Amino acid sequence: MTSNLARLAEIVDDAARLAHEIPQLTSMVPDLTVDDAYAIQALSLARRYARGERRVGMKMGLTSRAKMAQVGVSEMIWGRLTDAMQVEEGGSIAMGRYVHPRVEPEVAFLLKAPLSGAVTQAQALAAVEAVAPALEIIDSRYKDFKFALPDVVADNSSSSGFVVGEWRRPDLDVANLGVVLEADGQAVQVGSTAAILGHPVRSLVAAARLVAQWGERLEAGWIVLAGGITAAHHLAPGMAARTVIQGLGSVSFQVEG
């Protein structure tokens, strides 16, 4: 089975690297489990590390009812962030690097101390150096943007890029802040940071628990994306994407043709 997982990891990695669609893994391996999918994700990212990418954090996924409803699943997932995925604030991305790119607003945490396993909200907050508004670029490589839970997990939980705004002090209350996602200056989604498990810090607590199940920990210096606040919005060539979070600031990027 290990060799099969490695082959599936190669398929997923090539799809992301070359920006092309692939069939759902579960159509090829109907009994693929979520545990298998996390193993595929790890093997796929190992290929990227071997090419020189560096791990810089993790992302939480499906932490809001809107996101769960959008993709038809009901449990949180997570993925890995690398330095190659980070887009400069106010910078641009090339549409040709993606298959089905979408964007969603997030809250980002910067850690000053490691976290792992069962931690309280107070312990999680004590490990935070700063907090910032963020945008995540998600991109499922699966044909027709259709997938089962193991498919999306194997595909790094659809995480393809992220943009972080200006870091703010860690004691800012981010529990229930208004959020607007804009495309070309027009509001396309509105919501509240409370959509992230009722409080974004709960996502950080969950992140420490989830990575520990795979023998990992959240490291000092890492960025943790707490999860999409609203449903994701389709990206298009020439689009300017921006999110504003009440009291936290704004973050933006441009889509090239």
What's the pLDDT at 25?
A: 96
Rounded Cα distance between 14 and 175, Å, is 39
3-state secondary structure of 245: strand
DSSP string for residues in 99-168: SS-EEEEEEEEEESS-B-SS--HHHHHHTEEEEEEEEEEE---BGGG---HHHHHHTGGGEEEEEE---B
What's the pLDDT at 74?
A: 66
pLDDT > 70? residue 2: no
Domain ranges of the chain: 2-256
| pLDDT over 90, % of the chain | 90
Note the pTM of the prediction, 2 decimals.
0.95
**Tokens read off for 23:** 């069939």
Rounded Cα distance between 134 and 47, Å, is 26
Strand order in the sheet with 178-183: 92-94, 249-256, 240-245, 178-183, 186-192
Under 8 Å between Cβ of 235 and 255: yes
**Mean pLDDT value across residues 140-157:** 92
The fold of 2-256 is: Fumarylacetoacetate hydrolase; domain 2 (3.90.850)
Rounded Cα distance between 6 and 52, Å, is 19
pLDDT in tens, 184-208: 999 999 999 999 999 999 999 999 9
pLDDT > 60? residue 231: yes
Rounded Cα distance between 37 and 8, Å, is 9
pLDDT > 90? residue 257: no
Under 8 Å between Cβ of 142 and 16: no
Contacts of 172 (CB under 8 A, 6+ apart): 131, 247, 248
Q: Which residue has the tokens 């420490």?
A: 208
Contacts of 6 (CB under 8 A, 6+ apart): 43
pLDDT > 90? residue 50: yes
pLDDT in tens, 21-37: 999 999 999 999 999 99
